[in-house]
Every structure is written in structure tokens, then in C-alpha cells.
Structure 1
Amino acid sequence: MTEWTGEAAPGRPWWWEAVEPEATEDGLPDHCDVLVIGAGYTGLSAAIAAHDSGARVVVAEAGVPGEGASSRNGGMVGAHPRLSWDKMAAAFGADVADDLLAEAAPALDWAKTFIEHEKIQCDFEVTGRVQLAYTRSQFDGQKRLADKVREKSRVEVELVERSDLGREIDTGLYHGGLLFPQHGALHPAKYHRGMLEAVRRRGVPVVSHARVEAMTREGTRLVAQTAKGPIRSEKVVLATNGYTTRPFQWHLRRVFPLPSFIIATEELPENLIGHLAPGRRMMVETRARHSYFRISPDGKRVLFGGRAAMRDVPLHIAAQRQRQTMVEVWPELAEAKLSHVWSGYTGFSFAQMPHVGQHDSVCFAMGFSGSGTVIAPYLGAKAGWLAVGDARAETAYARTRLPRHVLHPFDRPHFLKAADLVFRHWVDRAEAWQARRS
């Protein structure tokens, strides 16, 4: 059973102990040039880009700005595509795959420059990130990926053989790793608060509790009916990703919410932290559990996230599953208590890649598929520029796709119940079997 320290009720992110999302008091204007729907990373970045291009911008948020994925993620800073070059080439063509890899370095540079320019105090640090190979075949795939990254981009990447892995993490679970030394870490809730403050400094209204319930046309303008009344705009940017709801059915059927669950341990002895993670890197796995873990910014806890389930489950069950995986990685944490457990929704596309585009006069950036800390604000800016016709909107992510799938014909992703059973009873066990045989 999971033991608790009593620091927080289940559902409250550890990040909120430093910065808790707060509702804004801005009123809803009756018109604007660009209406941004969603006040997370994507929407706030889109608002800054459109405003700085000369547009009058309003941000409408269904709930409280930042209470979604923007303050619930792992705070890992990297812009490398989650798919291999071969898979991207098969899905979008070789030229697009080349350009997606090439865009990783500029996207990461953009994020670092944005944080510096806006003076966002978010505990940003270049820590490096290591992707840990769960099976020998996955490590072989990392070798091929490293070759492609070096060939197609200016991203730095290093292979870490199993014999050298101890300098990064104290565990015998993995077969090697792929190190991205330029990647980093930040405090996601502080990052969001800094972005929100940057938007407010520009005089852009950010309206809380203003869910968009309907969209209609009035001549050349779009009319959004919100919970706080109507607003007319020339352009709309949809920035809701895994929190998309009606009336945006076209997007709902292409991007579905996949939960991610994170636990935080109690404060641990400093010598134990140094023993577990001597490299102090951001760490992710290659196996289908998509575990990602790190030391907290204050250096006192382990934060451990991943796919405890592919659908919503009670948080005490998610905590038990995440704890079990954490102890597989670090048996030394078998007696450690947990202080927090929470979840948030990633917006997954069936292509497992983000897309920037326009549908029915609504610009959007979504489908980040678990890689949103850098890519969401970066592509949010692209969507903001797209809405105002700025040439800086150009991106290889406009040449990816948001395909539909026969398993998801309606608004709700009912297929995730069956997918969860397949994942837990077949995929996870098959990977464990392969790891034992490696």
C-alpha cells in the first residue's frame, strides 16, 4: 500500500505549493482582432505573438488560467520529436521528417530566448535529458536515431553505453541511453505564471471562467458565445489541446485527452538523491509506460510521472502503480513515502505529432502528444502569427497531419478503455519479457 506523509490531498500538484493558479478579474470585451481560446502555454504564447504583431487580442479561458497541463507536467525542457526519422518519413514524407528534426534546435533556442527576454523566473536550468533504453532493441534504435539527429540537425546528442550509465542514474534496469546535453528543466507553474504576467503587461485581457459554448459567423467576423457573453473577432486561435471540448468537434475527433499521472516523494536525504541521480538529468524511458522522472528543483524529492493508465483511474490506484514503477527503477525508494499525486491531460494525436493549421477559419496548435513544455508555447506563437498573416508562422509542423481514426468516431475517446486493457495486459508484459531476454 502507498504511504502518505499528509502534505497534500490527492490531486494537488507539488508545483502548486510554490505557485497556485489564480483566476483573473478581467472583463470580456465585445470585440477584438484575435480571440485566443485557452490560457495555457499555447494560448498565452499565441496571445503574445499576435499582440506584438499589432493585433488587439483577448484570451478566453474555460476555467482558471494554468490549472490544466501547464501547471501539471514534469517541467522537462526539450524539443526533440518523439518519433524516429523513419516513422516521421513514413507518415509525412522524407522532406518533412528532415525539417522536423532540423527545427528541434531552433525551437529549443526560441524557448530559452523567450524565458530570458520575458524575464520569467521559473527555475530554468540546462541539466541535459537522458532517454533510457528499456530493452536492447530499443538501445539499438537509439543508435540509429542518434545518427539521424547528427545528420539532420544541430542538436547535440551522445550515446551512453550500459557500462557508463552509472554516471547518470543508479539502476540496473536499463540497457543504455541517449543524452541530449542541451535540454533542461524548469518549474512549470512558475513558467506559466511568468507567461501570464508577460501577457498582462501587454494589456491583453485574460478572462477566466469564459468557456466558449458556440461559434457562429456574422459577416466576415466570428462570434464566440462564452459563459460570460459574446465576443466578436476577426480571427480565432484554438489553444486547448487535451482540454478541448465542444463546439470544436473537428479537433475533438483528432486530438484526444490521455491522462498522465505524477507522484512526489517526501523529502529525501541529500546523499540519497546524489546516489540515485548523480547526473541530475531529466530522465525518460523508452518503454510504453512513458515514465519520466527527475529531481525536484529544490533538490529534495523525486518527481515520477508516466502512464499509470490510458484512462482516468482513482488517484490512489495511479499512485500505487507509479510507486511500483519507481521502485523498479530505484529499489532504494521502497520505504519512501509519497507527499503528492496528481494527473493532467496530454493532447495526443493519432500521428503522435503536433500540428499547426487552420480549419473553418480557426487557427490552432495542438496534438503535442506529451512533449508540450517547449513545443506548446513555440507552436502557440506560430499559431498566433498564422492568425495575423505573419511570415514567422512558417513551420514544419504545418506539414504534419491530424488524422482521424476508425476507433474514434465520436467526441469522446471510448476506445481508451480497450486500449488500456491491451496496454496493461499485453504491451507492458511483452516489453518486460523482451527486457528480461536482452
Structure 2
Amino acid sequence: MTLWTDDAAPGQPYWWDGIDWVTPEGALPARCDLLVVGAGYTGLSAALAAHECGASVAIVDAADPGKGASTRNGGMFGAHPRLGWDALAQRFGAQTADALFAEAGGALDWARALIDREGIDCDLQQTGRIQLAWTAKHFEDQKALAQTLAEKSSVKAHVVPREALNQEIETRRYFGGLVFDEHCAIQPAKFHQGLMRAALARGIPIIAHCPVTQLERTGATFAATTPKGRIKADKVLLATNGYTAKPFVWHARRIFALPSYLIATEPLAANLIGHLAPGRRMMVETRARHSYFRISPDGSRILYGGRASMVNVDMQTAAKRLHATMCDVWPDLKETKLSHVWSGNTGYSFTHMPHVGADRGLHYAMGYSGSGTVMAPYLGAKAAYRAMNDPRGETGYSATQLTRHWMQPGTRPHFLHAANLWYRTAVDWSENLKSR
């Protein structure tokens, strides 16, 4: 079988098809109150929040704004703690665990309100998201999580037993699932472009291909050197997540870029999609392979993502691996061709939790660890409010941590090569054995 359709464009995200890209506008000013580094979800949302507080803001981006993870992700729009309450309490204390669970529902509400307020057309659909249990133990953990969510948060979730799972997905692969009823689907590139338009409408300059190559702190102000000149700022907000690099060495040692790969199928018959995914939800797995999949906004394709590799591989290799994994879940797709394959960097922290923090006027929000579609704009705004000394900046994510790990002594995650081999052999083998 030929893997590709005749018009396939490997490397090109499905989300970029037909996008009317917003052109960055404005020159680098000599001075501003807040300099935002990075024009993805985090940076644009931070700029809007700071502007609301009356600050003069400028945004710089090392490349084309948004053409990193913000327009390459799966478009799954929801927020819940990535770790269970016990794990959060062990790492950060019971008080912080309670705060993070309490904040989870509010983050999604806030992000939906942002879309409504700015009139962003991003194909928002409240589909719900189902987390599919790869093993019987995973399903028991899901039942415990559902109980904790009911006790400690406003997140609406319900358990689906294995015998009822065919109402959600047609496969024999899973032991049950946990549905997050209020989670949504979006077209991520449209969401980003809507944030761009909102920032430009407020007169906030967005300067592309303008990396910060040097950042100096003099007294209470900063001076940033870029290829397009120098700019002074009272405060700086770092919004680079999985694309963090020098001169932000402190942060780059605490965040590692983990590539995530996605494929899009050719258009499929509506009755086939209805058969495979009758629940029409966002779908994710509990296994370490981290597969996540969904129906495209127009209802015509399956978009399937996950760990094709923990290091960069060529698009052909990534596509073959994801196609094989997809067909393991849905054997009916064995002869289905692909129209797209692409990748983007997720920014992982070693605690697997995002963090909002500051160092003498250098503010940051990062480490979303695969949950950035809601958490990036939400925590970007929180970081900006904190920079402006606005009480709306209060968040439990300021009590998490960005920690270093001995496996990454520098700024490059060389340990991922060994981790990739370990996961592709021992971890996947062990989880597959437990799934039988």
C-alpha cells in the first residue's frame, strides 16, 4: 500500500491549510513597560492582559509568530491536573494540590470567555474528551480520579465501563474510560490567529524574526538586544515553552522540548467515522505512548498524534509509526492513506506540571507538559497580571516548581535518546503485556 495521497505534503500541518495568516505589524520600540518574548498562545494572551492593565507592551518572536506548537497541536481544549491529587500533594504539598484541583475548571471557563470576548472563530465545539484506559489498573485509577475531581474541583467527569465503551469508540483495545464532559475541540491555528488580531487591534507591536540574543539587567530595567535593535523594558515576560533557548539558560535547563507527531487521514466516509468514533469526542490514552486522536472540525478525517519518537525523526518514519498505532486501535483504517504528517515541540517540566514565576522582573509561564491549549493562554495572562501587580495574577501554579534534573546538566536534553530507546522497548512492551 502507498502511504500517501497524491496531494500529500509531509511536514505541513493539517491546520495550516487555507489559513489566512495575519501579518505581524509594528516596529521595535525603543522602550516599553513589558517586553513579551514569544508570540504563541502564552505571549499573546500575556500581552492582552498587560495592555488591559494599562501597560505599554511589545512582543518579539524568534521566527514566524505561532508557527510553533500553537498552530501544530491537536486542538484539544481542556484543563485538568496532569497528576493525581496524591502525586501533587507529595511534590508540592496538600494546600497546593487542593488549589490546583480547584483551579482546573476555572481555567477552561476563562479560556472560553476569552474566545467569546474577542470574537475568535476557531471551530470551538464542546465535544467532551475521553481518556481511554489501556490497562485494568489504569481504569481503577480513573475511577479514583473521578471521585477526587468530584470532591475537590468543579470539573465534570464521569466513568465509562468497558461494556459501554462501544458508545464512545469502536475498538477492543481499552478497559474503560473517563469522560471530561466540558472539554472542547478547536482549530488551533485559527485560535492563534484570533489572538494575533486581538493584539494588533490594540496597537501592540508584534515583531517577527526578532530573537532576543542578549538580555541585560541594569537596576530596575532590562535592555534586550535583537537583530532589529535594542529595546529597554521595565519588565520582561518569557513565553517560549518548548522553544526556549539562549540567552534564557536558567529556564532552558528546566524545560525540555519533547517532539509530538501527528498525522491526518485522507477524507473518510461519514458512516465510517460514525462507526469508529460514535461519541465524536476528543480521545486520549493512558499508556505511555501518549496517543491522542480526534475527528477533524469538518467531520471528514481522523487526526492522530502521539509518541512516534522522543527525538526528531524524519516525517516518513513518524508517519509509518503513527499509522501502525492508529490501525492497532482501528484495524478498519489499515488501507487508509495519509494527507499530512507534522510535528511540534511540547515543553515539558521535570515535575510534569506548568509553573508561573519571576526573577527580579523577569516573569515566565511554561512547562505545560502537553496541556498547553488552555493552560498557555490562561497562565500567560496570570504571569502578566503578576508582572503588573494585579491581584488577578493569583494562581496555584505559582506554587509549583521548575526543577533541574541530573539527566540534563546543560540546555540540551541529550537524555531523550536513551529515554526513547527505553520507552520503545521496555515500557511499551510492559504496558502491552498488561493490556491483554
Common fold: TM-score over 0.5: yes
2:435 aligned with 1:435: yes
Match of 1:48 in 2: 48
Shift of 1:23: 4.7
Deviation of the 1:247 alpha carbon? 0.3
Residue 7 of structure 1, CA deviation? 2.7
Distance in structure 2 (CA, Å) of the matches to 1:379 and 1:64? 22
Q: Which amino acid aligns with 1:236?
A: V
CA distance in 2 between counterparts of 1:218 and 1:104 reads 38
Tell me the distance in 1 between the aligned counterparts of 2:28 and 2:379.
25
- How far did 1:219 drift? 3.4
Q: Provide the C-alpha distance between the structure 2 equivalents of 1:17 and 1:191, rounded to a whole number of angstroms.
A: 14
User: How far, CA to CA, are the matches of 1:127 and 1:374 in structure 2?
Assistant: 15
- Once the two structures are TM-superposed, the CA of residue 6 in structure 1 deviates from its matched residue by 3.1
Q: In structure 1, what is the equivalent of residue 135 of structure 2?
A: 135
Tell whether 2:108 aligns with 1:114.
no
CA apart distance, 1:22:
5.2
Partner of 2:301: 301
TM-score norm. by structure 1 comes to 0.98
Q: How does 1:97-112 map to 2 (within 5 A)?
A: 97-112=97-112
1:327 maps to 327
Aligned CA distance change for structure 1 residues 285 and 20 (closer, same or farther; 3 Å): farther
SS at match of 1:122: coil
Percent identity, please: 57
Partner of 1:377: 377
CA distance in 1, matches of 2:53, 2:22: 28
Shift in Å at residue 94 of structure 1? 1.1
Q: Distance in 2 between matches of 1:384 and 1:221?
A: 16
Distance 1:72 1:333 in 2: 23
Task: Report the equivalent of 1:282.
Answer: 282
SS of the residue corresponding to residue 432 of structure 1 reads helix
Match for residue 180 of structure 2?
180
- Matches of 1:424 and 1:266 in 2, distance apart? 27
What is the Cα deviation at residue 360 of structure 1?
4.4
Change (3 A) 1:21 1:414: farther
The corresponding residue for 1:66 is 66
SS at match of 2:435: helix
1:245 aligned residue: 245
Residues 20, 137 of structure 1: CA spacing in aligned structure 2 closer, same or farther, 3 A cutoff?
A: farther
Judge conservation of contact 2:8–2:338 (CA < 8 Å) in 1.
no
- Secondary structure, counterpart of 1:212 in structure 2: coil
Output the CA distance in 2 between the equivalents of 1:18 and 1:76. Answer: 20
| Larger displacement relative to structure 2 (4-13 or 313-322) | 4-13
Deviation for aligned residue 1:227: 1.7
Give 1:158's aligned residue. 158
Paired with 1:230 and 1:21, the residues of 2 have a C-alpha distance of 27
8 Å CA contact 1:254–1:350 kept in 2: the answer is yes
Q: Deviation digits for residues 349-393 of structure 1, max 9, x if unmatched?
A: 000000000124310000000000000000000011111111111
User: Is 1:2–1:320's contact at 8 Å kept on the other side of the alignment?
Assistant: no
Letter in 1 for 2:141: G
2:22–2:193: 8 Å Cα contact kept in structure 1? no
Deviation track 1:27-70 (CA, whole Å, cap 9, x = no partner) reads 11111000000000000000000000000000001111110000
> What amino acid does structure 2 have at the position aligned with 1:409?
P
CA distance in 2, matches of 1:290, 1:20: 31
Structure-2 separation of matches of 1:246 and 1:417: 22
Cα drift, residue 81 of structure 1: 1.2
State the partner residue of 1:229.
Answer: 229
Q: Distance in 2 between matches of 1:431 and 1:52?
A: 48
Deviation digits for residues 273-302 of structure 1 (CA, Å, limit 9, x no counterpart): 111111110000000011100000000000
- The RMSD of aligned alpha carbons is 1.0
SS in 2 for 1:24: coil
Contact 1:309–1:420 under 8 Å retained in 2: yes
Instruction: Map Cα deviations across residues 70-93 of structure 1 (whole Å, 9 max, x no partner).
Output: 000000011101111111111111
Partner of 2:368: 368
Return closer, same or farther for 1:395/1:114 CA change in 2, 3 Å cut-off: same
- In structure 1, how many angstroms separate the alpha carbons of the residues matched to 2:217 and 2:405? 29
The superposition leaves residues 174-206 of structure 1 with CA deviations (integer Å, 9 ceiling, x where unpaired) of: 000000111110000000000000001110000
The CA distance in 2 between the partners of 1:200 and 1:310, in whole Å, is 36
Q: What's the CA shift for 1:156? A: 0.7
Displacement of 1:2: 5.7
- Native 8 Å contact 1:126 1:185 kept in 2: yes
Distance in 1, matches of 2:25 and 2:185, equals 31
2-side partners of 1:398 and 1:21: how far apart? 34
Shift of 1:321: 0.6
Using the TM superposition, name which of 355-364 and 314-323 deviates more.
355-364
Structure 1: state its 5+ residue gaps: none
Cα distance in 1 for partners of 2:8, 2:49 equals 37
Q: Is the 8 A contact 1:23 1:208 kept in 2?
A: no
Residues 137-156 of structure 1: CA deviation (Å, up to 9, x unaligned)? 00011011111000101111
Query: Where in structure 2 are there 5+ consecutive unaligned residues?
Result: none
Residue of structure 2 equivalent to 1:88: 88
Note if contact 2:225-2:231 (Cα within 8 Å) is conserved in structure 1. Answer: yes
* 4+ runs deviating over 3 angstroms: 20-23
2:20 & 2:286 partners in 1: Cα distance? 32
The aligned counterpart of 2:342 is: 342
- Contact between 2:22 and 2:197, CA under 8 Å: does it hold in 1? no
**Which deviates more from structure 2 when the two are superposed, residues 169-178 or residues 91-100?**
91-100
Aligned to 2:423: 423
- Provide the rounded CA distance (Å) in 2 between the counterparts of 1:385 and 1:300: 41
Give the match for residue 36 of structure 1.
36
Give the Å deviation of 1:18: 2.8
Instruction: Say whether the 8 Å CA contact 1:259–1:343 is kept in structure 2.
Output: yes
CA contact (8 A) 2:315 2:341 kept: yes
Shift of 1:10: 1.2
CA distance in 2, matches of 1:5, 1:213: 42
SS in structure 2 at match of 1:222: strand
